[in-house]
Structure formats: C-alpha cells, structure tokens
Amino acid sequence: MSAPFPPSANAFIQPKAPNLRTWHGRLGHACHQTVLDMFTNKATKGMTLDLLLHPGSCHPCILGKQVMASVPKVRVGPESTRLRLEKVFIDVTGPFVHLTNGTLYNMAIINNYSSFPWNYQL
C-alpha cells in the first residue's frame, strides 16, 4: 500500500488551526465568546484558533433551544381525531430520585379523542 503523497511532500504540509466552530463543538457547544475568552486569556496551553471564518449557526444548538408544543386544550379544526387512539400525546418525565416503589420515570399518555389519561411508572 503506498502513501497518497511521497514522504518529501508530507514535510511541507502544515496542520491547520481549528476555527471557532470546531472549538465550539469540541468544548460541548460552549458559547463562542467563552471560546474566544479562553483563547485570548491563554486559558489552555497550546490552543490555536483560526479567526478568519465566521462560525455561523450551530444546528445542534438550535435544536437544543427549541421548545416542544404543548398538548392542545381544545380539539378543533381538521386535526381533531374521529377515532379512539388515532392520536395520542406521550410525555416521559424523570429520572426521579426517591420514589417509594423504586421506579425512576413517569410516562403520561393522553388520548386526543376522549382526553382520557393514562399514567405509567417506569
């Protein structure tokens, strides 16, 4: 198996410094200003940063900040269901610390047609 470049060519390749977006992802999606402060204050030994590219938006951060729509209080319009269990809303909460029966999670199910709730401890 041969190398993609001859060994003499590899001597001239310089590793590129990570940009702000790369460090943002490596540090658990930390705020861009926090990453810049770490770089300017030399908080981490040997940290290099390429500031030429704008970081842009981060798709995982956008998804993490979204709020889920709540269960509608009134069933109206074309989305209302005509059959039992045609549409259900499920919400899982937990983990809880000390429940008497030893379960850690709670699952609430609401039937959209009848508004009948079920509650299961998992």
How many Cα neighbours within 13 Å face the side chain of 12?
4
E strands within the chain?
A: 88-93, 106-111, 117-121
Q: Is 85 helix (H, G, I), strand (E, B) or coil?
A: coil
pTM over 0.95: no
Q: What is the pLDDT of residue 6?
A: 62
**What digits encode the pLDDT tens for the residues 66-115?**
777 676 677 665 567 888 888 888 999 888 887 788 888 899 999 888 88
Cβ proximity of 24 and 53 under 8 Å: no
Residue type for position 76: V
**What digits encode the pLDDT tens for the residues 40-61?**
898 888 888 888 877 788 888 8
Q: Among residues 89, 88, 93, which one has the least CA distance to residue 106? A: 93
Q: Which residues are registered as beta bridge partners of 50?
A: 19
Banded model confidence at residue 19, pLDDT cuts 50, 70, 90: confident
